[in-house]
Chain A
Amino acid sequence: MSVTAIRMPKLGMTMEEGTIVEWRVAPGDRVEKGQLVLVIESEKNEAEIEATASGFLRHVYAAPGDVAPCGALLAALTEQPDEAFDAVALAAAEAPAARRPAAGDAVALAAAEAPAARRPAAAASAPAPVATSAPARGGERKAIAPAARALAKQLGLDAERVTGSGPGGRVTREDVEAFAAARERLVPVASGVALEVLREGQGAPLLLVPGFGTDVSSFAALTPRLVERFRVWALNPRGVGASDGPAADVPTLAADAAAVCAAAGGPVHVVGASLGAAAALELALARPELVRSLLLITPFVTATPRLLAAVTAWCRVAAEASPATLARVLAPLLFSDALLADEALRERTLRGLAAACARVPPATLERMAAGLAAWSGTRAKDLARIGAPTLVLAAGADLLTPDGEAVARAIPGARYTVVPGSGHALASDAPGVLGDATLAWLDRT
């Protein structure tokens, strides 16, 4: 694909900006190289501007009357009328300064959408800027507090790798401390690759594999009950938290899980949620000797169009907005009406989800999404080969993985329990039921 920008020209030594007078083409129009596309005014002269390439006009960034500095992006052409094109991303890449938000993400998005050109009226009444730091996510430059940078240097860590929990995703001193502590928890799983694995409790080994876009904190409600009776190994997949990146596909995640099982002295009780359940299935098929039992929470073997669309949206929002915004966008996809109706619970849950989202960088999401899509459908016929005792826990109001029962039916002897009314995020929606069912199941195996 090829995008050509139409910019405000510099027509004389003293020209600094120009005013849009008139567009001669409209979005969607076919444009030939050399064709007159717009008229601008500068220093009391009007000038006709020609297209520098042929293509289709996809987006116009400056309206008649707008003033734009020389070089500013005014419009974009693509070679084909329907090729992938992201108007907001292009503008954002063009004008990094405009992406620094005044406050909050709504403003950041507004700034990204109205980058180089300014409306004269708006310029006259521009609100006084409230200085806040730039968001780390989606920006070229990550916000790292000086104290965090200094501590990372002292500890010999790369501060760029630390995910930030401060306002706008800023990396704080505490984040570096947490990252350093997490690096202490690394377990090598492959040549040059180590995963962050939280180990806690005493008893038979039990592995927790979190789902798409989140980390081990998604099991926070469950872990305290498990550690009373099991040695819990909770892993963060590649690219998540302090685990080495980049993120990998589902078979690789399963191979990593196998390495952790081996380190735990398997066979192991394996608990996976959603994409983590996919890894657990893959692990049970590839390395059955390491799996003592399987607990599949809201699993799938073939992704529904809605799941694929949700994952795509997840990646996009993560790249362009803050973790807090991402969590709020995900809420209706993940949680039940009952949870969403309880304001205090909802806000607390969203804060936890936002914190988890902050530990999964956009690049990791993209790779995980690709892995999910690639794995989808590849194991539908293999479930009959699974020999480990299996429980499928499904959510009654699951929008993303509604086929848990089919998964259970395909696995020989698998038990199936559904939690009525729960959304996809079972651990948030019904932590008590999940804990009871999990412990009852583990008692039986």
Chain B
Amino acid sequence: MTRARTLTFGQAVNEAIRIAMETDPDVILLGEDVAGGGARTGEDVDEMGGVLGTTRGLVKAFPDRVLDTPISEMGLIGTAVGAAATGLRPIAELMFIDFLGTCLDPLLNQAAKLRYMFGGKARVPLTVRTVTGAGMQAAAQHSQSLYWITAGIPGLKTVIPATPHDAKGLLLAAIRDDDPVIFCEPKSLLFVPGEVPEGDYEVPIGKARLSREGTDVSLIGMGATVRMCEQAADQLAQEGVSAEVLDLRSLAPLDEEAILATLEKTGSVVVVDEATPRCGIASDVAALCVDRGFDFLNAPVRRVTAPHAPVPFSKTLEEAYMPSAAKIVAAVREVRG
């Protein structure tokens, strides 16, 4: 039951969906090419399993519950919201979060509001899985980290795991949550392996994970930036600086107590976010530190984020654009002097 094997992030997502569909007949999966090719019943069909192959194999196991949709995000997300409001527990795949603009209304004005507007008597147990982030030369329209938009909408939850272990556990928690959850899959992590326990387990939404303990500075990351923080912590350790690494995991709700606890411990915070800086998660965390943790601050809070610019296609420019362990180390040196 608890034996761990090595799976990639994408395989852990696949396993979570399989377990959710096995344990709950109301769970359906829908999206563009999540089954593949439209021929969902033949044994010899080479399934696509989504553009990145994450859901491959599921249509054979659940032929009636894995549905290809037309190429219309408004159509598929609207369908999923309606299905969730009327009794199913859908998992909708939004191929890239960059396409959020085409389907924002059903999320923003319906999914996020129904429970509130029906006095708690309605529920929208919807999960939207979506791929986020840069670093794969997918250019400006397929590389964004727009989770700050959904995290800023009351009524939506937004999570972003950093490890295969958390991908599986958080996705199971998201699917079983009675409120709409945006589940982010950083594309640079999809093929990264890690230990994943067998069987059914959940990682609670709203709880950050202390990935490394330290005393001198807190590096706060999310998704793909958690590994950068850990690499930076390794480098800093060689310089005699003990860095703590906090993986937010959940962007909304935000684990404010965990953030304040690590700030209180080290007195110094560097927040690392792949997204652009304005109105973002990094700014939000920095504001929390100043607002509720002022007397703990022994140094300025520093944000390491992408610049306020579209993601470049050029590999060289994209590397310059993204946060990195080196940038984190430089920020730490700057705040510590």
Contacts and interface: CB of A to CB of B under 8 A. Distances in A.
Contacts of A167: 299, 334-337
B300 A133 contact: yes
B46 interface: no
Leading 4 A-B pairs by shortest Cβ distance: A167-B337, A150-B295, A147-B298, A146-B297
B78 interface: no
A440 to B, nearest CB: 37
A166 interface: yes
Given A148-B298, A165-B337, 9 more contacts: A133-B300, A145-B267, A145-B297, A146-B297, A147-B267, A147-B295, A147-B298, A166-B299, A167-B336
A57 to B, nearest CB: 41
Interface in B292-309: 294-300
Given A147-B298, A150-B295, A173 B337 contact: no
Given A166-B337, A167-B335, A173-B267, A147 B300 contact: no
Contacts of B337: 165-168, 170
Contacts of B295: 146-147, 149-150
Interface string B277-300: 000000000000000001111111
Contact of B297 (A132, A147, A168): A147
22 contacts: A145-B267, A145-B299, A146-B297, A146-B298, A147-B267, A147-B295, A147-B296, A147-B297, A149-B295, A150-B295, A150-B296, A165-B337, A166-B299, A166-B337, A167-B299, A167-B334, A167-B335, A167-B336, A168-B337, A170-B299, A170-B337, A172-B267
B300 A172 contact: no
A291 B116 CA distance: 85
A1 interface: no
Contacts of A168: 337
Contacts of B299: 145, 166-167, 170, 172
Contacts of A165: 337
Nearest to B337: A167
Contacts of A149: 295
Nearest to B264: A147
A165 B298 CA distance: 12
Interface in A130-165: 131-133, 145-150, 165
A147 B266 CA distance: 11
Contacts of B297: 145-147
B288 to A, nearest CB: 14
B300 A146 contact: no
Interface residues of A, number: 17
B294 A146 contact: yes
Contact of B300 (A132, A150, A174): A132
A385 to B, nearest CB: 49
Q: Which of A133, A146, A150, A172 has the most CB of B within 10 A?
A: A146
Nearest to B301: A131
Q: Which of B297, B298, B334, B337 has the most CB of A within 10 A?
A: B298
Nearest to A143: B300
A173 B267 CA distance: 8
A133 B337 CA distance: 11
Q: Which of B296, B299, B336 has the most CB of A within 10 A?
A: B299
Nearest to B294: A146
A64 to B, nearest CB: 35
Interface string A257-293: 0000000000000000000000000000000000000
Contacts of B336: 166-167
Interface in A163-185: 165-168, 170, 172-174
A170 B298 CA distance: 9
A173 B335 CA distance: 14
Contacts of B294: 146
A166 B334 CA distance: 10
Contacts of B300: 131-133
Interface string B14-46: 000000000000000000000000000000000
A147 B295 CA distance: 5
A148 B268 CA distance: 12
A131 B296 CA distance: 20
A210 B265 CA distance: 37
Nearest to A154: B295
Nearest to A172: B298
A168 B300 CA distance: 12
A352 B297 CA distance: 26
Nearest to A169: B337
Contacts of B334: 132, 167
Interface string B324-337: 00000000001111
B317 to A, nearest CB: 17
A167 B295 CA distance: 18
Contacts of A148: 298
A255 B43 CA distance: 100
Nearest to A130: B334
A170 B336 CA distance: 10
B309 to A, nearest CB: 11
